Amino acid sequence: MSNNPFGPGSGPDDQSFPRTFPPAEQQPQQSAQPQQPMAPQQNSGYGNNGYQNSFGSAPAPDHTPTAVTPQPGATSAPKERKGPSWGGVIAIATVAALLAGGIGAGASYALQSLQNTSSEQETSTADEKIKTADVPDWATIASDAAKSVVAIQVGRDGKVGELGSGFVYKNKDSDSLFIVTNNHVVASGDSAGGEVKAVFRSGATVAAEIVGRDPETDVAVLKMKDVPRGVDALPVGNSDALKVGEPVMALGNPLGLADTVTTGIVSALNRPVATANPGKSDQPEVATITNAIQTDAAINPGNSGGPLVNGAGKVIGVNSSAAALPGTAENGQAGSIGIGFAIPIAQATWIADQLIDTGQAKHAYLGVKIVSGDVSRSGVTVGSAVVDGVENGSPAEQGGLNKGDHIVAFNDTPVNGAVSLQALTRSKKEGDTVKLTVVRGGHPTDLNVTLAAK
């Protein structure tokens, strides 16, 4: 139960880009069963595997890249695979919000708006009032943010095995600059002989070491051995203030095409997404549960670990996974279908700061054993997380939770099942007090629970 949040349990100044990494054999994707028939499958492991360019080299500028999807076995006979390749495969998981009970958790809205993203004007007609917003200056935002975005190369014996993305981050308690990325991008480099390098927009390539990685949240931190001239951290925004419909931009290294940007909007908030993630020696595979930001900005293999920024150019999420149509990931044809997911930056930086400070991360937990269920609330059947056991001395016990309680809301965000509650809990910090709405004996009641960490 130890992994369960509920219980014990100076480089050259060449600005020419885009840069391309020549494709090689595309590997099959790993799949997991959706939790409900017809539910869209999720892609994690959005690194990009199998690109065999010289490790750490800055590729020659190519001003007219051709966007060709690499085909399986394009350059050699397929190799037998006995397990998932985490950097380049797209692990299929589930959108937990599609559990019985509806998708209310993914449709909830944050309460506070971004203040400096855009200015709003109101125009009115006789019968309605229409709000319009200025379009962000994406050209300026892309130019500024790209200086702090890197293409990550993970390899062994001079050959690149995985490609991903990352961005420069400054910890509030340190003067040093770090790189934040996804665990699944760099996990294969965290072993004897593994190498990790970061390539900047300028072409500067630096070696990096893994400070720490957390499979349970899919967050990892790198430290550069040398920091190129003029590099600074990407400014951090407030993911708790996001609203559905706000404009966003994803930056990264999809399919080895460095310095790629795509734009879209925040499609949904509080979307529970479950993926499998490469763990550590004592636990090779770990379930990662994310209370994700959903976006229609295109996120493709290689985007993993890159920033999702708002209209003010501040990072509000870490791109981590995307949906795939059934069957496409297994045969190597997965790509963006307009449903991508990012780890909220509030959660990512809390984990990153712990990794920088101690090399390890703790997670908020309730201290309950739960199963998915449903219950009648105000005459309507809704999804719930049913308490099947309460740990002695846990936050749940101290907050008054009992076995048999149906948890239907978390800080007024609907809870549609066990994974939904886990995602919401994981998004909080140690010491946060949350309001749980439970149905007990047919009657709703609110309980305040102060979360601990382990």
CB atoms within 10 A of CB 68: 9
Q: Are 43 and 90 in contact (CB under 8 A)?
A: yes
Q: Provide the sign of the torsion angle of the four alpha carbons 143, 267, 296, 336, taken in this order.
A: positive
Q: Which of 85, 184, 214, 267 is catalytic?
A: 184
The phi and psi torsions of 257 (rounded to 5 degrees) equal -90, 90
Structure tokens at 22: 């020549």
Q: Rounded distance, CA 188 to CA 193, Å?
A: 10
Task: Specify burial of residue 407 (Cβ count, 10 A radius: 0-12, 13-18, 19+).
Answer: buried
Q: From the candidates 190, 214, 218, 259, which is the catalytic residue?
A: 218
Single-letter residue type at 144: D
Please list, in sequence order, all residues whose beta carbon lies within 8 angstroms of the beta carbon of residue 117, skipping any fewer than 6 positions away. Answer: 136, 246, 247, 310, 311, 312
Determine the Cα–Cα distance for residues 237 and 308; give it in Å rounded to an integer.
10
SS3 category, 241: helix
Is 218 noted as a catalytic residue in this protein? yes
374 catalytic? Reply is: no
Phi and psi at 308, nearest 5°, equal: -105, 120
Q: Which of 44, 202, 304, 320 is catalytic?
A: 304
The answer to whether residue 304 is catalytic is yes
Query: How far is 182 from 144, CA to CA, in rounded Å?
Result: 22
Catalytic residue positions?
Answer: 184, 218, 304
